[in-house]
Structure 1
Amino acid sequence: MKHYGKLTAAAAAGFMALSAMGVAPVFADGPNTDWDVDIIKTITKDKNTAVPNEQFKFTVSQPESVAPEKDIPMHKGTAPDTDITVTNPTTPTTDTNNAALTSVSATGGKIVVNKDVFAGRPVGIHRYVVSETKGNVEDLTYSDAKYNVDVFVTVSGDTTAATGLRVTPVDSSKGEGSKANGMNFTNDYTKQTNANIHNLVVTKTVTGNQADMNQQFKFNTVVTGANGESFYWETSDAQKKESGIATSGSTITCSLGNNETLTVYGLSKTDKFTVNETNADGSAITGNKTSDGYTVTQTENAYVADSGENATVAVNNDRTGTIPTGILMSAAPYAGLVGLGGIFAGLFFRRKRED
């Protein structure tokens, strides 16, 4: 027991010396005197995929087991919920700028050790584990990373108090040595590498001898996915390109001309959609005839849930009519009369000359 007491005293003296010198947590066994650590949250995703609508959360818990470290006593964290305060990161804005990126960050996440609560706690290292709370956003892979948060408690006069902090990955493959400057958590949302993920592609064609090839036609498209899911969409015309973010169940309103397309990105096999062309004033088409005389033919989607192919909808507007020929027909009798008149006139003048 005397030998153990000497080791403990030596360890305590070492902790106090480190604290006094303000040593930074460069080495795995060196405590840090800062009491907050950033949560670094990264979401990797496909280009043209909306940011997942998720409030990322983190949990502080006790480790399953602890063992003395270099003869320094190790304790399970007493009250994880109150000893350490977690500020969850802010979800990135779901907008067209972020949709264009392949990696976005959720910022503002932090853990703060409430050092004052450690007064009176046993001397040694008090360990906690920080991990991500897994949600249920469809197609989002949550991080499995875990970090040990070690709070060093040493003797100071007649009281005990927290004197240092160390953060290390639970699994060394997820980081290098001490990570007291931040905890890295990465979520994967690369939906289009999944064989069950598709895009919706709506194609417009215009035909007919009375069709206006420069005319634009309005569409209302609705994609319904998981609760809170969002979809990035864009049209193909470079001159008047339209784009935006549509939440599940909302209406995408856009215009398409001949050989133009609407693409909605990142549909999973459980998502549903409807595509409807409207009249120029936005009213519903009656039957298959627009108010300006086009006959609309729309294919149902060619979407096969597990094929890895896109969902496609082809919409054709045709305005074909008979070329007017009534003027020629109505003039024919008069042309005949004129011809007969000419014959009679010729005979009359010929007879006149003979007389």
Structure 2
Amino acid sequence: MKNTYISRAKFGKFTAAIAAAALLAGTAAPGVLAADYTAQLTKTIDMTAAPGAGVPHGSITFTVGTVANLPSWAAGTAVKGTAAQIKSTELTAAFTGGTVNTVTVPLTFDSDDFTAPGDYIFSLTETAAGITGLTQDTAARYIVVRVVNTDPAAPTGALRISDINIVNADGTAKADEVTNTYTAYGLSVVKHLSGNFANAGDEFTFTIALDDPDETPHASSVTVKTGGESADFSTITGDTVAFNADGTAEVKAGITGGEKIEVTGLPANTGYTITESGDTASSYTTTWDGITKTGSDDKTSDAQTMAAADKTITVTNSRTAPTPTGLLLDAAPYGAMLLAAGTGSVLLRKRRNSDE
């Protein structure tokens, strides 16, 4: 996530007027800035480490505050800003999911309360967003508001804000990127077949029920792809499956032996349950490799939780042709007896013919 300031972005018109009473008295009066000064804070979520994920929805906030003590690099050259000079103490970057990962937030200072030229120091603190998979920018930062005379060559007491900058804790200019990263992982379900009666053309339907890890849901969508087990999935176009408002989502896909379902964009601690269904599946025995399976229903996995890593689960369906048993084996001796009886009859007939 990046914080970028666009300095000198002014909204409103500054006045160069001096209070009438001061003019009449012929004395220098405190400078007056009749309009607010607003800069734009740009907040970006870096999605590089979350392939397949939609941008999480939710709010990321910052607090603009005063400083108890000036940092050492500002001592003697700057002054502490006051609470009255901050018009917006809380900044909110609201993300609505989908693909938009950058929003701008106005940052406003009350110009009327700056009464002398100088650099005014404020603090800027990011609040943890409570979004699983999203890092927080915890670095200490300051806002420097520079106030100058409107006419430096012939000061009249009129003031203006010339720029607003964010600096690091040591006073150096803020780096171009202050990154907060969103991280998500992939879940793969691989289908294998076993047994001399398995049919390579049989298709098996899988339903994967997903549950957002946060009490207040933030996940927006995942990407689903199917293909050969050894295929290059980076070249396969996937389908987007959106989460519901309650933080649940359902992925459904059919695959045959040697194929795979890949679901990407799952933050750690996402809950999931996998169910195999269909007439084809019912004629096979199902075993699961890669997860703990304790339930008696071999077609449904136990409830699982994504770790902070990709996960592969292999589901093997077995079907073997039965070996002839029962009546067929029991009839074998009788068959042998009938065969022997038939042979004896032929021999007896031959002997009679010989006697004649």
TM class, shorter-chain normalised? 0.5 to 0.7
Q: Residue 64 of structure 1 aligns with which residue?
A: 68
Contact persistence 1:41–1:184 (CA under 8 A): no
Alignment partner of 1:215 is 2:202: yes
**Which runs of no fewer than 5 residues in structure 1 stay unpaired?**
1-15, 17-33, 95-104, 193-198, 282-289
In structure 2, distance between residues paired with 1:64 and 1:177: 21
Q: CA deviation at 1:298?
A: 3.5
Q: Residue 144 of structure 1 aligns with which residue?
A: 138
- Structure 1-normalised TM-score? 0.59
In structure 2, distance between residues paired with 1:150 and 1:308: 42
Q: Indicate how the Cα distance of structure 1 residues 306 and 279 shifts in structure 2: closer, same or farther if over 3 A, else same.
A: closer
Partner AA of 1:56 in structure 2: I
In structure 2, distance between residues paired with 1:259 and 1:252: 19
- Structure 2-normalised TM-score? 0.59
Contact persistence 1:294–1:319 (CA under 8 A): yes
Q: Residue 42 of structure 2 aligns with which residue?
A: 39
In structure 2, distance between residues paired with 1:120 and 1:234: 55
The secondary structure found in structure 2 opposite 1:141 is: coil
Percentage identity across paired residues of the two chains: 17
Q: Residue 222 of structure 2 aligns with which residue?
A: 232
Q: Residue 9 of structure 1 aligns with which residue?
A: none
Instruction: Give a deviation string over 1:227-253, Cα, whole Å, max 9, x none.
Output: 425373544515987544454532221
Structural mapping, 1:1-355, within 5 Å: 35-43=38-46, 45-48=48-51, 50=53, 51-66=55-70, 74-79=79-84, 81-82=86-87, 86=91, 88=93, 90=95, 93=98, 106-114=101-109, 117-119=110-112, 121-125=114-118, 126-145=120-139, 146-154=141-149, 160-172=158-170, 177=173, 184-190=177-183, 199-224=186-211, 225-227=213-215, 228-230=217-219, 232-237=222-227, 243-245=239-241, 247=243, 248-265=247-264, 266=266, 268=268, 270-280=269-279, 290-291=281-282, 293-299=283-289, 301-302=291-292, 311-322=311-322
Contact persistence 1:122–1:160 (CA under 8 A): no
Partner AA of 1:137 in structure 2: I
**Which runs of no fewer than 5 residues in structure 2 stay unpaired?**
1-15, 17-36, 294-303
Contact persistence 2:209–2:274 (CA under 8 A): yes
Instruction: Give a deviation string over 1:256-298, Cα, whole Å, max 9, x none.
Output: 2112233444553x443321101159xxxxxxxx45x223334
The secondary structure found in structure 2 opposite 1:79 is: helix
In structure 2, distance between residues paired with 1:205 and 1:320: 14
Contact persistence 1:73–1:123 (CA under 8 A): no
Instruction: Give a deviation string over 1:177-231, Cα, whole Å, max 9, x none.
Output: 378xxx7431023456xxxxxx543222123333321221101112332242537
Q: Residue 3 of structure 1 aligns with which residue?
A: none
Contact persistence 1:123–1:155 (CA under 8 A): no
Q: CA deviation at 1:91?
A: 5.3
Q: Indicate how the Cα distance of structure 1 residues 62 and 184 shifts in structure 2: closer, same or farther if over 3 A, else same.
A: farther
Q: CA deviation at 1:302?
A: 5.0
Number of aligned positions between the proteins: 286
Q: Indicate how the Cα distance of structure 1 residues 91 and 63 shifts in structure 2: closer, same or farther if over 3 A, else same.
A: farther
The secondary structure found in structure 1 opposite 2:210 is: strand
Contact persistence 1:57–1:132 (CA under 8 A): yes
Q: CA deviation at 1:49?
A: 5.3
